[in-house]
């Protein structure tokens, strides 16, 4: 990161107490955003904008599901014009929800839409530029000439917005930065920020301020860094604190989509950033608002949480990723991937089948254990030792007292409290887990930990602002130069599946994204009583999958195929849900491979910047296939496209047969 450009690491009010960033209020059709207004929830339609009644019905379903603003794509003048019909029909039916026109490439559509709807969204990467994927060398002179060209193209829209009281979102996407930005900054968080600032400075010169900003990416690390950097740069340039629209693009569907969205959006909300949220799932748009609501509602009463020691200086660079340095203890910390510990302490584990949910399978015929990609690394059995020999590669952690009584003190390892640890009794020769909270990291314990090459912390928190408290503990360790590995542990009282995925992804992902944490553990101690063994096994299986999902979403341990699928919109050229399911069925064993599935060729290729392979709609029934950013086959009939995609993956050397996997 360029240290001349980023002079401070400041990006939020406080890293210790929850405090929402005070932003400028922007009025959007009578539903104001920013300031002390609630964090708003929004989403986008997927019906063709020319289908007036279809769009109206979908908007109504979205509003009824909790959407406070609705975005509709306007790829050309005719769709922009039809927004008037959609708006009229909605108002006739008593729906006053503010509408937002989504614009790419078409200033004339934006200028018309700005006279009709309450807000327009422009993408600074393609408002005045067509992406040619060229790396052109710009001199200062030619760069400035480009900026003049943008000013000329963009100024009319700003003037119309001013005249009509229309708000605007300047929405940067990681995947669609202009060649100009790419040539100077690369596809970096700084490039994303500069892309928006080019447009924002024009608005400022024209004294237009009804602006919302966003920095979306499919890569959660890049997305979080870009938002933080944006806030830092607004401050540094003395620009106004414009409200932020938060979103992770192409998050995917189901559990993975929810976890990925929460990792990106949640970590920013934790630090008080964000005035509106859009969760992009490859599902019906009315399913998005409840997920966003679950995220934002966590902060309704967050102020007033138990105090956390203030942070004077952030020892971590919030604008770029680097994993906290730790020494290796057995297979934890150092260069090891972050570990997943499954908590089975509330189970009587007496049957091989009990480990199925956490990815370990006993096959009686060859009399062998098999492990899938989501095989837990450790089980924590508390005071109820597992009653059979565990598979290789799976270690058991017992409470210290139970470990002391165990006949196998080598293969089982202890979990100690701070008192037990300091009492100095016998310990395991290689690895000892120690559970503690921030308050335990005192002058007595820290020096002992620094000396100990066998200790691994299991970091807990009871604080309602738990992510910040755990982060404070990491900072304390870093400042004390204690490079002991740390497992992030969280436990929640009974939650729905959606809540668990969102809360845990926010709380743990928020740390992992900053390189903090050598593993995760979701404790079961607060899960309600009265469950049957079957239900408990399901819960533990869910926790295990969520743990792996969080590590993947934070990009710290890739165990699954990653699908970067767009949420679909009026431009979409095929049924995205059906196609994603079809591609998934054939490829979900390709660990770590990233496949982009995009509804249209206009924005698709840019939006899947991160993907290894791409499947992009390029016409009715026609698909264009990519390897990275390169087109490999154009206009493939959709009936053959999945087979052809697999062929390209095979040629790329990333294919393995399902049976082998
Ligand atoms: S990539 Fe998908 S969501 Fe984006 S514009 Fe194209 S169809 Fe719409």
Question: What is the per-residue pLDDT across 359-385, written as a single tens digit (0 to 9) for each?
Answer: 999 888 888 888 888 999 999 999 999
HSE-up of residue 219 (Cα within 13 Å, Cβ side): 21
The span from the CA of 156 to the CA of 172, in Å, is: 20
Q: Using DSSP, state whether 179 is helix, strand or coil.
A: helix
- Using only C-alpha atoms, the chain has a radius of gyration, in whole angstroms, of 26
Q: To test the ligand 1 pocket, which listed residue (176, 568, 579) has its Cβ within 8 A of the most ligand atoms?
A: 568
Nearest atom (ligand 1) to Cα of 598: 1
Residue 60 is classified by DSSP as: H
Check residue 135 and give its pLDDT.
57
**216 in contact with ligand 1, CB cutoff 6 A:** no
Residue 267 makes CB contacts below 8 A (sequence gap 6+) with 224, 467, 506, 509, 510, 513
What are residue 489's DSSP bridge partners?
A: 521
Contact 468, 270 (CB under 8 A): yes
Cα–Cα distance measured from residue 316 to residue 202, given in angstroms and rounded to the nearest whole number: 33
Residue nearest (by alpha carbon) to ligand 1 atom 4: 603
Task: Please tell me the predicted confidence (pLDDT) of residue 412.
Answer: 95
Say what the pLDDT of residue 643 is: 95
SS3 342: strand
- Ligand 1 pocket check: which of 253, 280, 572 to mutate, most ligand atoms within 8 Å of Cβ? 572
Cα(86)–Cα(83) distance, integer angstroms: 5
Helix axis angle for 189-205 and 220-236, nearest 10°, is 40
CB of 568 sitting under 6 A from ligand 1? yes
For every residue of 505-560, DSSP letters joined together read: HHHHHHHHTTT--SEEEEE-TTS-S---HHHHHHHHHHHHHHHHHHHHHTTS---S
Task: Show the beta-strand stretches assigned E in 237-391.
Answer: 245-246, 276-277, 339-343, 360-363, 368-371, 378-382
Angle between helix axes 497-512 and 288-297 (nearest 10 degrees) is 60
Identify the pLDDT of residue 560.
82
Q: What is the DSSP string of 629-646?
A: TEEEEEEEEHHHHHHHHH
Nearest CA to ligand 1 atom 8: 569
First to last CA, the chain: 39
CB 606 within 8 A of CB 125: yes
User: What is the pLDDT, as a whole number, of residue 3?
Assistant: 40
Give residue 339 CA to ligand 1 midpoint distance, Å: 36
Is 412:406 a contact under the CB 8 Å cutoff?
yes
What is the residue whose two structure tokens read 């500069």?
194
**Nearest to 374, CA basis, from 551, 505, 556:** 551
From 602, 617, 619, the mutation candidate for ligand 1 (largest count of ligand atoms within 8 A of CB) is 602
For the stretch 156-195, what's the b/e string if a residue is b when 16 or more beta carbons lie within 10 angstroms of its beta carbon?
Answer: ebbebbbeeebbbbbbbbbbbbbbbbbbebebbbbbbbbb
Tokens representing 241? 């604190």
Angle between helices 533-553 and 254-261 (to 10 degrees): 50
Is 569 touching ligand 1 by the criterion CB < 6 Å?
A: yes
Q: For the chain, which residues score pLDDT lower than 70?
A: 1-8, 130-136, 660-661
Kindly give the distance from the C-alpha atom of residue 101 to the centroid of ligand 1, in angstroms, as a whole number. 14
Reported pTM = 0.91
């Amino acid at each position: 990161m360029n240290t001349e450009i980023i002079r401070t690491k400041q990006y939020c009010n406080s890293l210790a107490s929850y405090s929402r960033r005070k932003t400028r209020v922007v009025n959007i059709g009578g539903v104001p955003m920013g300031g002390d207004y609630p964090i708003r929830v929004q989403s986008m339609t997927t019906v063709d904008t020319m289908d007036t009644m279809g769009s109206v019905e979908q908007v109504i379903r979205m509003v009824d599901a909790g959407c406070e603003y609705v975005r509709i794509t306007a790829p050309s003048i005719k769709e922009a014009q039809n927004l008037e019909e959609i708006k009229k029909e909605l108002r006739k039916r008593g729906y006053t929800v503010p509408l937002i026109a989504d614009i790419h490439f078409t200033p004339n559509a934006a200028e018309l839409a700005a006279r009709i709807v309450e807000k327009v969204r422009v993408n600074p990467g393609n408002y005045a530029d067509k992406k040619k994927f060229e790396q052109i060398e710009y001199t200062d002179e030619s760069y400035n000439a480009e900026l003049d060209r943008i000013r000329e193209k963009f100024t009319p829209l700003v003037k119309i917005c001013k005249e009509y009281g229309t708000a605007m979102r300047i929405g940067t996407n990681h995947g669609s930065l202009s060649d100009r930005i790419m040539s100077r900054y690369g596809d970096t968080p700084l490039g994303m920020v500069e892309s928006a600032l080019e447009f924002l400075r024009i608005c400022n010169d024209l004294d237009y301020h009804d602006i919302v900003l966003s920095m979306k990416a499919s890569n959660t690390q890049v997305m979080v860094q870009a938002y933080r950097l944006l806030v830092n740069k607004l401050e540094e340039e003395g620009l106004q604190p414009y409200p932020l629209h938060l979103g992770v693009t192409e998050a995917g569907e189901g559990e993975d989509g929810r976890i990925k969205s929460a990792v990106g959006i949640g970590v920013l909300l934790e630090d008080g950033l964000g005035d509106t949220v859009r969760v992009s799932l490859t599902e019906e748009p009315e399913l998005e608002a409840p997920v966003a609501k679950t995220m934002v509602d966590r902060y309704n009463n967050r102020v007033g949480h138990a105090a956390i020691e203030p942070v004077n200086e952030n020892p971590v660079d919030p604008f770029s990723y680097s994993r906290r340095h730790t020494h290796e203890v057995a297979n934890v910390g150092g260069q090891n991937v972050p570990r997943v510990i499954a908590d089975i302490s509330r189970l009587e584990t007496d049957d091989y089948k009990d480990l199925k949910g956490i990815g370990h399978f006993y096959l009686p015929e060859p009399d062998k254990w098999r492990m899938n990609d989501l095989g837990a690394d450790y089980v924590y059995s508390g005071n109820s030792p597992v009653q059979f020999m565990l598979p290789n590669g799976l270690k058991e952690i017992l409470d210290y007292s139970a470990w002391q009584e165990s006949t196998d003190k080598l293969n089982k390892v202890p979990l100690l409290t701070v008192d037990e640890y300091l009492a100095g009794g016998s310990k395991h020769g290689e690895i000892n887990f120690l559970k503690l909270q921030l308050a335990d990291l005192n002058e007595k314990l820290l020096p002992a930990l620094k000396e100990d090459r066998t200790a691994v912390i299991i970091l807990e928190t009871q604080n309602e602002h738990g992510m910040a408290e755990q982060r404070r503990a990491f900072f304390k360790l870093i400042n004390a130069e204690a490079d002991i590995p740390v497992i992030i542990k969280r436990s929640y009282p009974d939650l729905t599946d959606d809540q668990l995925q969102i809360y845990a992804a926010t709380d743990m992902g928020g740390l992992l994204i900053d390189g903090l944490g050598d593993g995760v553990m979701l404790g079961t101690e607060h899960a309600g009583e009265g469950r049957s063994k079957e239900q408990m096994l399901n819960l533990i299986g869910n926790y295990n999958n969520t743990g792996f999902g969080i590590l993947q979403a934070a990009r710290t341990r890739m165990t699954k195929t990653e699908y970067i699928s767009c949420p679909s919109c009026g431009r979409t050229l095929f049924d995205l849900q059906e196609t994603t399911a079809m591609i998934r069925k054939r490829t979900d064993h390709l660990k770590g491979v990233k496949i982009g599935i995009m509804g249209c060729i206009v924005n698709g290729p840019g939006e899947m910047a991160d993907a290894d392979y791409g499947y992009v709609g390029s016409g009715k029934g026609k698909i264009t296939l990519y390897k990275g950013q390169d087109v490999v086959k154009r206009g493939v009939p959709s009936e053959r496209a999945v087979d052809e995609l697999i062929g390209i993956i095979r040629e790329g050397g990333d294919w393995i047969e399902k049976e082998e996997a």
